[in-house]
């Protein structure tokens, strides 16, 4: 199983972005208050590719109870086919479902649906929403048809579509600007290698930067750096591109065997190519530990890593064989396992909900 | 004829693109390749209406058969339907007239069942599985499922090489001078917009030579309603993109001086276009995947049995298949995926048997096969595979015992144009079959067998988007079977009763498993999985005469299967039942014929299953039972025999799925008129 190296790539990003965006958008719509007490955590189970079995697993910290699919039980219907991103913003939680062409907006305390926002063509085919980020009351959703949708989080209506590069994946906000990675992976091997930078006041692309080939993830730190992870084309090595969001120039582009980042303060957690969880110092831009896990815990197919910026805990999901139930492991900040839980298939995102 | 497994493509397809882009994962659509395919139904049908009306079940390894006369009894349209009543059989049915149907026997997976067409294997080097929905029954005389292998040791070597063998035999002309020809014309039509005219021409050319030609056209829109509850709508939805357009022709030229001196030359052409309805998509329109197949093969066989006891069987075959996969709903540069595959297969087999004594026969068979595949997909390897099969076998009768044994050597060598080729490999696998008849006066047979087989990787597993070379081992299976078969002729209402029961233990190791990761650097196919299978097949069949001029037939097949994943004790599903494998399956068929009328009822019951390795409530699939009925009326129009039949599938309009997210049709109808000239 060790041989399943890079899969981690895909995953964690989502989460990283989530957290990151929280930092940056301070104000306007209130985020989780750092002092609030956690009620529990949600895990987004992507399900089997193409099959309508995406799920939302909920773990309640107080009652210690695990609900395999709380979206199903709260709404008497399934999430749909291939959910890809999950985030909480203000008093709403957003679940991005790729093949179903939906963003399910739910109450994070109950998982009850508030609205199902459709991203579909006239023939009802999905525009394939992929990832979501937030800024000043708007949600930004990447669509595989080469657009970013602007969704008003109060009215839950789409106000605009902004054309970007090919098959945009993740997106993140830094210095009032939106960084959208254009993967172009559906045309493999003729992939994309750019980041579209969108000014969030004018909602227009102001610059397109060349980054590593076939980028898939982006995260931001509190120093204004934007980290872009790229798969590259095998056998070339995966890359990490760092953009300075003050100047919007590429500071560095290096081979980097792992990603994406989940950043908490100065520490980025990521899954390395060898399937372990490593850390990276975003302040000094250098590798930290060779293995974050200190108690010998191993994973079959480490899939996503998410740091809880409030508690300092680090959550690592394990996709196992990618077609049956996975696991999520909770570690304390020293890398000692606290507990683990069973999730659904392909646990790709973890978010934390306050009481 | 038809072969090729569309499915695979699309299953595999997703992952790939994914490599870079999709975050998603998991297996797809097809689902099955994964760990275990199994599903549906099973049961028996031993029916072989031979001169004695008593079905022959006393084969040395278990064998079940169904022939022309019985297709109507089970309201069957294609080969997959016809064998769904067999014991130990799981049909993976993706629903609808164009839906993929593959057969897994005794939970070993569809890749471990060889399909023989008139004695020669249908070889799909790319996918390894044969889609049985592509075989209609118009030209089929008999289908036999052999556990282990066919009984006669004068076989191609390949016939020994699989865990199970499904043998399809087409109609051979039996004509005399008084009426040197026979023409059968018919048309089927009904639900799914089906229109299926067919024509068969049999011609006696001379004392020794004869000819048969079949052709058919099948058109269907494939649409049907199903109830969708998972998206909260609980309304009737329509299954789309399941249309099929098939043109087919096959034929044979036969020379038969006697039963021991025969030659044949056969051809088969299959051309189809069809939609590939994927898994149900909630809230959005489904996919636009299409598949086109154009398959052609020509094969020839010669059999000679000399009085000296020397027997010779020679077979040769050339097959070409073309597949085009098209998906027009893709957000890539061209807006579509359009892939083409061309496969060639050259096959030659020679078998020699010799009767050392009247009770002892030995044989040696040697086959050579060369397959290659060309495709325009990214970085394709263009593999050419040479496979050599050599087997020695013995068949000995000593008093009440019959002992058969064989040892097979398989040698496989791949060459590729780009990238590394899979390592060459050679392996010996044995089989031993023993039967014992304790009483000369009673038709009781006790039997046991052991067989070891291995399955090499398919081209898809080895090379399809293998951006990182895959180091794969073959998948090994071991089968152990003990059983008994008993036949009794009776007087009175019951004509006869047949009972057989076989208990078995199978073990699969190094299961070749598809891993739907997204990274280009991760092997997407690995050897992962061990399965322990314990099962029981029970078949009861009886003919009876309830009233004067009425004949009845009742058959019941029951299958018990415990197929546990024993891959790794740390797996969450360790010791849990593999996906899509019901513990209990029951197939029942009952029917009466009275003069020109026939009325038949078929029912298949499957206990609950899980759609995933994890046997947890989220993946639970409830039990189901599906009934079919058929009515047949035969009469003379002028002097020409005419048969009219009316078949109803899913009589009680049950809402169910064999494969999760692939809903099965509700009640459907089919009408057939056939005239023989």
Among A9, A11, A322, the residue with its CB nearest the CB of B516 is A322
Structure token digits, residue B453: 């087989």
Indicate the average pLDDT of chain A. Answer: 90
Q: How far is A331 from chain B (nearest CA, A)?
A: 20
| Residue A23 confidence (pLDDT) above 60 | no
Among B18, B230, B285, the residue with its CB nearest the CB of A52 is B230
At residue B520, the pLDDT reads 53
- CA–CA separation, A199 and A127 (whole Å): 23
| Residue A134 confidence (pLDDT) above 80 | yes
Using a CB-CB cut-off of 8 Å, the residues of chain A touching B280 are: 52
Using a CB-CB cut-off of 8 Å, the residues of chain B touching A344 are: 618
At residue B379, the pLDDT reads 85
At residue B57, the pLDDT reads 60
Q: Say yes or no for a CB contact (<8 Å) between B333 and A5.
A: no
Q: What is the SS3 assignment for A114-140?
A: EEEEECECCCCCECCEEEEEEECCEEE
Q: What is the DSSP letter of B458?
A: P
- CA–CA separation, B513 and B522 (whole Å): 13
pLDDT tens per residue across span A340-352: 999 999 999 999 9
Q: Say yes or no for a CB contact (<8 Å) between A78 and B282.
A: yes
Q: Say yes or no for a CB contact (<8 Å) between B521 and A234.
A: yes
At residue B655, the pLDDT reads 92
Count of residues making up chain B = 677
At residue A122, the pLDDT reads 96
Q: Say yes or no for a CB contact (<8 Å) between A46 and B23.
A: yes
Q: Tokens 């078995």 identify what position? A: B504
pLDDT tens per residue across span B151-200: 999 999 999 999 999 999 999 888 988 999 999 999 999 999 999 999 99
Contact A73, A67 (CB under 8 A): yes
Using a CB-CB cut-off of 8 Å, the residues of chain B touching A347 are: none
pLDDT tens per residue across span A163-183: 999 999 999 999 999 999 999
Q: Is the pTM of this model over 0.80?
A: yes
At residue B54, the pLDDT reads 58
Using a CB-CB cut-off of 8 Å, the residues of chain A touching B577 are: none
Which residues lie below 8 Å from residue A63, measured CB to CB, with a gap of 6+?
none
Among A84, A320, A327, the residue with its CB nearest the CB of B23 is A84
| Residue A10 confidence (pLDDT) above 80 | no
Structure token digits, residue B152: 């006669």
Q: Say yes or no for a CB contact (<8 Å) between A81 and B614.
A: no
Structure token digits, residue A36: 């609030």
- CA–CA separation, B188 and B224 (whole Å): 18
Count of residues making up chain A = 355
At residue B327, the pLDDT reads 94
Give me the percent of chain B exceeding a pLDDT of 70.
90
Sort B449 into a burial class: Cβ within 10 Å, 0-12 / 13-18 / 19+: buried
At residue B59, the pLDDT reads 83
Which residues lie below 8 Å from residue B532, measured CB to CB, with a gap of 6+?
B505, B506, B507, B563, B564, B566
The answer to whether B277 contacts chain A (CB < 8 Å) is no
Contact B582, B554 (CB under 8 A): no
Query: Please, which residues 137-176 of chain A have a Cβ atom closer than 8 Å to chain B?
Result: 144-146, 166-167, 169
Test mutation, A186, A229, A345, chain B, max B CBs within 10 A? A186
Q: Say yes or no for a CB contact (<8 Å) between B519 and A231.
A: yes
Which of A303-307, A321-325, B156-160, B587-591 comes out lowest in average pLDDT? A321-325
pLDDT tens per residue across span B563-594: 999 999 989 999 999 999 999 999 999 999 99
Query: Please, which residues 648-677 of chain B have a Cβ atom closer than 8 Å to chain A?
Result: 660-661
| Residue B530 confidence (pLDDT) above 50 | yes
Q: Say yes or no for a CB contact (<8 Å) between A3 and B517.
A: no
State the count of interchain CB pairs (< 8 A) between A and B. 232
Using a CB-CB cut-off of 8 Å, the residues of chain A touching B28 are: 48-51
- CA–CA separation, B135 and A286 (whole Å): 62
- CA–CA separation, B369 and B412 (whole Å): 10
Please choose, from the candidates A309, A316, A347, A311, the residue with its C-alpha nearest in 3D space to the C-alpha of residue A31.
A309
Q: How many CB atoms within 10 Å of residue A286? A: 8
At residue B533, the pLDDT reads 97
Please choose, from the candidates B222, B342, B368, the residue with its C-alpha nearest in 3D space to the C-alpha of residue B286.
B222
pLDDT tens per residue across span B432-447: 999 999 998 888 999 9
At residue A36, the pLDDT reads 62
pLDDT-based confidence at B529, cuts 50/70/90? Answer: confident
Structure token digits, residue B393: 């076998």
Structure token digits, residue B625: 């039972």
pLDDT, greater one: B18 or A327: A327
Using a CB-CB cut-off of 8 Å, the residues of chain B touching A317 are: none
pLDDT tens per residue across span B377-419: 888 999 999 999 999 999 999 999 999 999 999 999 999 999 8
Query: Please, which residues 484-523 of chain B have a Cβ atom closer than 8 Å to chain A?
Result: 513, 515-523
The answer to whether B235 contacts chain A (CB < 8 Å) is no
Q: How far is A151 from chain B (nearest CA, A)?
A: 19
At residue B7, the pLDDT reads 33
Which residues lie below 8 Å from residue A293, measured CB to CB, with a gap of 6+?
A276, A277, A316, A331, A335, A337
- CA–CA separation, A166 and B101 (whole Å): 37
Bridge pairing between strands B164-170 and B113-117: parallel
Four-point Cα dihedral B611, B612, B616, B622, nearest 10: 10
- CA–CA separation, A45 and A79 (whole Å): 10
At residue A4, the pLDDT reads 32
Q: What's the Cα-to-Cα distance from A92 to each of A29, A60, A80, B137, B284, rounded to whole Å? A: 11, 18, 19, 57, 23
DSSP string, A24-64: HT-SSS----TTSPEEEEEEEE--STTSS--EEEEEETTTT
Q: How far is A306 from chain B (nearest CA, A)?
A: 16
Q: Say yes or no for a CB contact (<8 Å) between A321 and B613.
A: yes
| Residue B53 confidence (pLDDT) above 60 | no
pLDDT tens per residue across span B601-644: 999 999 999 999 999 999 999 999 999 999 999 999 989 999 99
- CA–CA separation, A114 and A75 (whole Å): 10
Among A4, A14, A69, the residue with its CB nearest the CB of B517 is A4
Q: Say yes or no for a CB contact (<8 Å) between B522 and A3.
A: yes
Using a CB-CB cut-off of 8 Å, the residues of chain B touching A55 are: 618
The answer to whether B614 contacts chain A (CB < 8 Å) is yes
Indicate the average pLDDT of chain B. Answer: 88
Which of A171-175, B57-61, B120-124, B234-238 comes out lowest in average pLDDT? B57-61
At residue B135, the pLDDT reads 84
Give me the percent of chain A exceeding a pLDDT of 90.
85
Q: Say yes or no for a CB contact (<8 Å) between A53 and B661.
A: yes
| Residue B27 confidence (pLDDT) above 80 | no
Please choose, from the candidates A56, A62, A107, the residue with its C-alpha nearest in 3D space to the C-alpha of residue A85.
A56
b/e code B461-497 from CB counts within 10 Å (16+ = b): bbbbbbbbebebbbbbbebebebbbbbeeeeeebbbb
């Amino acid at each position: 199983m060790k041989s399943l190296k890079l899969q981690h790539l895909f995953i964690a990003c989502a989460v990283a972005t989530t957290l990151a965006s929280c930092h940056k958008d301070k104000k306007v719509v209130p985020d989780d208050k750092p002092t609030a007490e956690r009620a529990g955590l949600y895990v987004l189970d992507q399900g089997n590719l193409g099959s309508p079995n995406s799920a939302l697993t909920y773990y309640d910290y107080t009652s210690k109870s695990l609900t395999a699919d709380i979206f199903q039980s709260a709404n008497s219907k399934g999430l749909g086919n291939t959910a890809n991103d999950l985030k909480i913003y203000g008093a709403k939680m957003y679940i991005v479902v790729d093949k179903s062409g939906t963003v399910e907006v739910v109450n994070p305390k109950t998982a009850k649906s508030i609205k199902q926002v459709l991203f579909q063509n006239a023939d009802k085919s999905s525009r394939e929403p992929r990832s979501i980020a937030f800024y000043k009351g708007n949600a930004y959703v990447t669509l595989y048809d080469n657009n970013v949708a602007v969704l008003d989080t109060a009215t839950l209506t789409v106000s605009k579509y902004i054309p970007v590069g090919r098959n945009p994946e993740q997106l993140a906000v830094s210095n009032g600007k939106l960084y959208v990675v254009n993967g172009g992976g559906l045309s493999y091997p003729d992939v994309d290698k750019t980041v579209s930078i969108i000014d969030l006041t004018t909602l227009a692309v102001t610059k397109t930067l060349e980054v590593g080939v076939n980028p898939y993830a982006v995260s931001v730190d509190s120093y204004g750096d934007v980290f872009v992870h790229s798969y590259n084309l095998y056998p070339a090595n995966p890359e990490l591109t760092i953009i300075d969001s003050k100047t919007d120039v590429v500071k560095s582009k290096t081979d980097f065997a792992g990603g994406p980042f989940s950043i908490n303060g100065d520490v980025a957690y990521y899954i390395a190519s060898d399937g372990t969880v490593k850390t990276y110092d975003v302040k000094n831009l250098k590798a930290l530990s060779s293995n974050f896990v200190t108690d010998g815990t191993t994973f079959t197919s480490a899939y996503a890593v998410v740091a809880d910026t409030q508690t300092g805990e680090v959550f690592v999901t394990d996709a196992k064989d990618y077609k049956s139930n996975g696991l999520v492991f909770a570690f304390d900040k020293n890398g000692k396992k606290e507990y683990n839980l069973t999730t659904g298939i392909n646990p790709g995102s973890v978010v934390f909900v306050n009481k | 004829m038809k072969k090729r497994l569309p499915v695979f493509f699309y299953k595999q397809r997703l992952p790939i693109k994914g490599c870079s882009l999709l975050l998603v994962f998991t297996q797809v659509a097809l689902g099955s390749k994964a760990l275990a395919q199994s599903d549906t139904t099973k049961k028996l049908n031993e029916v072989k209406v031979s001169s004695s009306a008593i079905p022959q079940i006393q084969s040395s390894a278990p064998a079940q058969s169904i022939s022309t006369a019985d297709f109507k009894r089970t309201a069957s349209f294609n080969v997959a339907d016809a064998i769904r009543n067999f014991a130990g059989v799981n049909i993976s049915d993706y629903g609808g007239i164009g839906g993929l149907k593959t057969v897994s026997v005794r939970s070993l997976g569809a890749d471990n069942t060889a399909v023989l067409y008139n004695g020669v294997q249908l070889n799909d080097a790319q996918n390894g599985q044969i889609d049985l929905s592509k075989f209609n029954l118009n030209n089929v005389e008999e289908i036999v499922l052999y556990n282990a292998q066919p009984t006669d040791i004068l076989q191609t070597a390949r016939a020994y090489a699989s865990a199970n063998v499904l043998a399809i035999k087409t109609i051979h002309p039996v004509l005399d001078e008084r009426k040197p020809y026979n023409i059968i014309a018919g048309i089927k039509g009904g639900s799914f917009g089906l229109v299926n005219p067919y024509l068969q021409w049999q011609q006696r050319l001379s004392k020794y030579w004869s000819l048969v030609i079949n052709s058919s056209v099948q058109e269907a829109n494939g649409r049907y309603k199903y109830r969708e509850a998972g998206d909260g709508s609980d309304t009737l939805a329509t299954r789309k993109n399941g249309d099929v357009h098939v043109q087919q022709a096959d034929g044979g030229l036969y020379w038969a001086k006697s039963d021991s001196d025969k030659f044949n030359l056969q051809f088969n052409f299959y051309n189809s276009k069809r939609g590939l309805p994927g898994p149900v998509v909630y809230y959005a329109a489904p996919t636009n995947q299409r598949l086109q197949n154009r398959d052609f093969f020509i094969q020839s066989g010669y059999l000679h049995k000399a009085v000296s006891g020397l027997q010779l069987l020679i077979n040769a075959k050339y097959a070409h298949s073309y597949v085009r996969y098209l998906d027009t709903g893709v957000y890539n540069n061209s807006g579509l995926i359009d892939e083409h595959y061309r496969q060639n297969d050259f096959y030659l087999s020679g078998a020699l048997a010799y009767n050392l004594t009247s009770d002892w026969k030995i044989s040696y068979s040697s086959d050579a096969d060369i397959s290659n595949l060309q495709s325009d997909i990214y970085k394709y390897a263009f593999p050419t595979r040479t496979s050599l099969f050599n087997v020695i076998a013995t068949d000995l009768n000593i008093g009440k015992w019959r002992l058969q044994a064989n040892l097979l050597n398989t040698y496989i060598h791949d060459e590729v144009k780009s990238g590394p080729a899979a390592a060459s490999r050679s392996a010996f696998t044995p089989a031993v079959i023993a039967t014992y008849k304790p009483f000369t006066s009673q038709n009781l047979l006790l039997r046991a067998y052991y067989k070891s087989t291995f399955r090499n990787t398919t081209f898809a597993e080895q090379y399809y988007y293998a951006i990182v070379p895959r180091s794969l081992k073959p998948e090994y299976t071991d089968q152990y079977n003990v059983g008994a078969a008993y036949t009794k002729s009776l007087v009175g209402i019951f004509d006869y009763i047949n009972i057989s029961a076989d208990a078995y233990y199978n073990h699969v190791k190094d299961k070749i498993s598809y891993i739907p990761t997204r990274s280009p650097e991760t092997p997407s196919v690995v050897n992962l999985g061990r399965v322990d299978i314990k099962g029981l097949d029970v078949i009861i069949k009886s003919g009876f005469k309830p009233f004067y001029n009425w004949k009845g037939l009742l058959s019941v097949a029951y299958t018990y299967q415990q197929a546990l994943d024993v891959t790794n004790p740390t797996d969450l599903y360790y010791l849990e039942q593999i996906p899509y494998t019901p513990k209990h399956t029951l197939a029942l068929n009952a029917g009466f014929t009275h003069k020109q009328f026939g009325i038949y009822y078929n029912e298949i019951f499957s206990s609950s299953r899980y759609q995933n390795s994890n046997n947890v409530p989220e993946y639970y699939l409830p039990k189901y039972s599906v009934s079919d009925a058929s009515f047949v009326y035969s009469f003379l129009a002028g002097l020409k025999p005419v048969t009219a039949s009316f078949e109803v599938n899913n009589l009680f309009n049950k809402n169910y799925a064999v494969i999760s997210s692939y809903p099965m049709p509700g009640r459907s109808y089919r009408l057939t008129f056939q005239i023989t000239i």
